Structure 1
Amino acid sequence: MGSSRCSAAFKGVVYLALCSVPLVSSLFLGVSSVTLATYGIGSFLAFLLSWCDKCKARSGQWRISENTLHTVELLGGWPGALLAQQLFHHKTRKSSYRIAFWAIVLVHESFWVFLLKRV
């Protein structure tokens, strides 16, 4: 197996592990389907916004603000944004964006782990 395939497989495992925390936690906690739907809708929106921003970047058009992208990620869209980053190589080199993105993921993951520990 080549290095790039190993890297892709590793990223896939990390993505699944991160996304499983809210899903598994919600199952154990009996969280409403509205919460899960929020993650799904937010992820879909974040994915579309990231794709649109990448297209605009390629064509030299006015871009979607990072604040908008981060707001959608914070509202539950980080899984879709993470998928878009990997598929489109979107915002993978800008350190300030990546730091804010991973801080958002950490907040979400910590929240779910905190709730699980209380059960």
Structure 2
Amino acid sequence: MTKYLQKSRNLVIFNLWIVNNPSEKGIMWMELLSSLIPYLIGVNVITFLFMGMDKQRAKKQQYRIPERTFWLLAIVGGSLGLWAGMKTFHHKTKHMSFRIGSPILILLHVIIVCYVVFSLS
């Protein structure tokens, strides 16, 4: 059996074990994921949409969304949406703080999520 198939098989067995033998940690893990994933999707979609709205406002020379709003959304979990908005709308790409800060926050969020998930499993 290849390493890939072995890892896939082990993951399936682990997930089935968690579902069929819910321990206290297993239940906490499932509850965490069931609330964390929708939260992260939501905050990233909102951040992405705000980037698009701000780009349109910039083109029309209208009132803009403050940069601190983008940073707040990125810090609370929307860093991937910020980065995707920068790339999609070509917005805030000249700001060094956004070009460097967004990938750093993405990395930080990945580390935090991995730590939380693996500390509960």
User: What letter is aligned with 2:88?
Assistant: L
Normalising to structure 2: TM-score of the pair?
Answer: 0.64
Equivalent position of 1:80 in the other structure = 81
Where in structure 1 do 4 or more consecutive aligned residues deviate above 4 Å?
Answer: none
Deviations 1:38-73 (A, max 9, x none): 111101110111001111111111211111011111
Identity of aligned residues (%): 26
Q: Is the 8 A contact 1:70 1:100 kept in 2?
A: no
User: What letter is aligned with 1:66?
Assistant: E
The Cα shift of 1:79 comes to 2.1
Equivalent position of 2:56 in the other structure = 55
Comparing both chains, which one has the higher relative contact order based on Cα–Cα distances under 8 Å and sequence gaps of 6 or more? 1
Q: Does 1:91 align with 2:92?
A: yes
Deviations 1:19-53 (A, max 9, x none): xxxxxxxxx95333211111111011101110011
Normalising to structure 1: TM-score of the pair?
Answer: 0.65
User: What letter is aligned with 1:103?
Assistant: I
Equivalent position of 1:39 in the other structure = 40
SS of 2:63's partner is: coil
Larger Rg: 2
CA-based RMSD of the aligned residues comes to: 2.0
C-alpha distance in structure 2 between counterparts of 1:32 and 1:96, whole Å: 31
Equivalent position of 1:3 in the other structure = none
Q: Is the 8 A contact 1:51 1:84 kept in 2?
A: yes
Number of corresponding residues: 92
